[in-house]
Chains A and B, each alone.
Chain A
């Protein structure tokens, strides 16, 4: 399984914290999240960033990339203001 942790806006706005999903492509992972939490708009997920095992940054817009069994990922949105 893949442990998905929600951070910042996703957690605040949609009251979600953590979910376990099956490994697969980003699209497959996204579909499982949306199935579990149908109140999250798809476009908000598509704009999110995924940090995989504290090593790799993946953009959810790249739906073909894969998340592997045993991965822990944090889903959030980046900020760029200053």
Chain B
């Protein structure tokens, strides 16, 4: 009988599947990006997940956040997502923090193999990059606004987000908001970027910023990266 993750082996070798299964993965933010990230990571074979988000679901999340629904309004996101993930796979080790990432102990980062950035505030994203640097943790960044998104795998210490965001409080998302289709594309792009990194694929780059324009069917490397081993 074929195992659950047999289909992933079309692109991932056994060694990579083992590394994904053993990886300690942190998802910061369980909103538009984070819900899709958590879902995709579990379906990729991740078993050890730490979920961080202080919020509860509200009505206005329904247009875009994967695990929001009329029955989850008012419930803590970490609890809903944990339950939903365990409904997919039953051998998960999930730790949750229903608090802001700033309040979470550094040990969580030190123990992580990778931190996924699902937060929705450039200031927090910048702080997350700095903290990933201080704790020597790989970070997968993603962000969106309207039809547009960006992805980067950040090898510490990185200043890519510090240079990009500087002291800005928001970008195009303030006017164009965050539609579900762009969130879906970017979150799954983030997971693909990490999978390439774990696979040690020659195309895997770190500290490279890719921007995606769904309206014009365009993709551009804005900041060229280096090979993951370089």
Contacts and interface: CB of A to CB of B under 8 A. Distances in A.
A17 to B, nearest CB: 9
A55 B208 CA distance: 9
Given A7-B213, A12-B216, A79 B148 contact: yes
A11 B213 contact: yes
B153 interface: no
Contacts of B178: 81-82
B147 A12 contact: yes
**Consensus secondary structure, chain B interface:** mixed
B144 A59 contact: no
A77 B171 CA distance: 7
A63 interface: no
A81 B145 CA distance: 6
Given A8-B213, A11-B216, A81 B144 contact: yes
**Consensus secondary structure, chain A interface:** mixed
Q: Which size class do B's interface residues fall under? A: 35 or more
In this complex, the member of A8, A12, A59 whose beta carbon has the largest number of chain B beta carbons within 10 angstroms is A8
B33 interface: yes
Given A7-B213, A7-B218, A59-B166, A80 B143 contact: yes
A54 interface: yes
Given A11-B213, A77-B172, A82 B142 contact: yes
A37 interface: no
A74 B143 CA distance: 18
Given A12-B213, A57-B223, A82 B31 contact: yes
B223 A55 contact: yes
A82 B120 contact: yes
Interface of B: 29, 31-34, 117-122, 125, 142-150, 160, 163-166, 168, 170-173, 176-178, 183, 209, 211, 213, 215-216, 218, 220-224
